[in-house]
Amino acid sequence: MRTLNDPDGHTQIYVVDESERGACHEYQIEYGPKAGKPVDCNDYLAIIRFQKGPIKDEGVNGCTNEDLLKIVIDQLEQFQAAELSCTENAYALGKCQEALMWLQSRTADRKKRGVEGKYEI
């Protein structure tokens, strides 16, 4: 299990599975003081499972990068619509929206070329 560094120490992110075809598929986020200690699943702040394999072959078994970006975009839009509005949030929101656009563009291109859902470039 690999650990992603959190310089603030509030959370600890663990990469649970080994990279397969260039990507890991499961992450656990724990509250910092409990990080690395025996915990049950109720102590995790989040367990994120990414789609593993093409949906048409494996079925839906996890979320996508696009799913997580949509959540972050929604959160930042809510901040911007309230008293937490700031320049930094606006920039972060724009970059997340851009990232989502590029990922959706990639998917559209893969569908157009007939390689969506295949391990092909």
Res 100: pLDDT: 98
Res 32: pLDDT: 66
In the 8-state DSSP scheme, what is residue 12? Answer: E
Domain regions of the chain by residue span: 1-57, 64-115
d(CA 100, CA 65) in angstroms, rounded, equals: 8
Enter the tokens of residue 84. Answer: 């937490």
Res 73: pLDDT: 98
Q: For residues 10 and 22, is the Cβ–Cβ distance under 8 A? A: no
Res 35: pLDDT: 57
d(CA 14, CA 29) in angstroms, rounded, equals: 6
Res 19: pLDDT: 76
Res 96: pLDDT: 98
Sheet of 44-49, strand order: 2-4, 11-15, 26-31, 44-49
d(CA 87, CA 104) in angstroms, rounded, equals: 26
Q: What DSSP line would sit under 49-113, residue for residue? A: EB--S-HHHH-S-SB-HHHHHHHHHHHHHHHHTTTT--HHHHHHHHHHHHHHHHHHHHHHHHHHH
Res 11: pLDDT: 83
pLDDT tens digit at each of 121 positions of the chain? 888 877 777 788 899 987 777 789 999 998 766 655 655 556 688 999 999 988 888 899 999 999 999 999 999 999 999 998 999 999 999 999 999 999 999 999 999 999 988 878 8
Res 1: pLDDT: 81
Res 62: pLDDT: 96
